[in-house]
Structure formats: structure tokens, C-alpha cells
Amino acid sequence: MIDLNGIAHIQLSVTDLKRSREFYHRILHETFGMTIQYDDATTFYCIGGRTGIVIREISEANRGVAFDQWRVGLHHFCFRLRSREDVESLHDVLVDMGARVIRAPEPGPWAPGYHSVLWEDPDGIRLEAVFIPGAGNLSVIKDKPLVPPMA
């Protein structure tokens, strides 16, 4: 069996790299403190918190195709935050930047203590950020020790 060590990166395809770069720069770099790895005419890539997010512009052939979370492919992805207060602070940033907030911070039924905010990027790609106290649903993994929180 291969011992999975997380997701190295997620790459998002966007319609306007300049517009999306401003959006993701505010969230990933300014708010989450992720390090900018690449920032050029074709790629915006941040790393931090054992996570990489790559933003690249779509091909010319796909200019007229809008994101649809119910088609095959990405539905949404979710950042794990360290506190309810972080979820609330992120919501404040999203409101300040005029992001389309789909669901303001609220509890959810998916794990004990689940507290999240859901929003969309400029192309309508849905993103979520959640705080779950303790191990949450990861506590069901009995055969492997949980990775301790990073300092």
C-alpha cells in the first residue's frame, strides 16, 4: 500500500489571469500568508500550509466555456483553518474585497464543530474554508497516527 502524504497542489484554470491573480493574491498571499512561488505572464502559484495553489489562464479554445460545479471535474475545494475566528476573519476579508459570498460563516453537519464560509472566485469557482476542532472526521483513521498541527 502507498502511504499518501496529502495533495501537493491544485491547479485552477481561469478566464482572466490578471483579474484572478488580484483575487487570489489577496486571499492566498495577503490573508493566508502563502509564499508566491511563481508570478509571471502565465502562472500565479502560491505555497504554504502543506498546500500549493496554481492559477493559469484557460486556452483560447475554451474562452466561451464557463465554470459549472455540476459538470465533471472540480465541484469546490476547501481550506482547513485553525480556528473559528480565522473563518470569521476570512469572511471579513471576502466582504471587504467584494467577493461573492455564497454562505457566511455557519456550522455544518459534516463533522462535530464544523464551521465554514463558502465563496466564489471571479470565474464562479467555489471555495470553502473550514475549522473543525480536534481531528474531526480524521479520527476514524484508526491504523495511522494523525499528523500533529503544524506550529
In a shared domain, residues 79 and 56: no
**Alpha helices (H) along the chain:** 17-24, 84-96
Considering the domain architecture, whether residues 56 and 88 belong to the same structural domain is answered as no
Residue 128: inside a domain:
yes
- For residue 143, the model assigns a pLDDT of 55
Answer yes or no: is 11 within a domain.
yes
Same domain, 89 and 51: no
Q: Are residues 134 and 80 in the same domain?
A: yes
Q: What is the largest CA-CA distance in the chain?
A: 47
Neighbours of 36 (CB within 10 A): 13
Query: For the segment 97-148, what is each residue's pLDDT rounded down to a tens digit?
Result: 999 999 999 988 888 899 999 999 999 999 999 999 876 555 555 555 555 5
The domain in which residue 98 lies consists of: 74-138
pTM, full prediction: 0.83
CATH number of 110's domain: 3.10.180.10
- Residues comprising the chain, all counted: 151
- 115 domain-assigned: yes
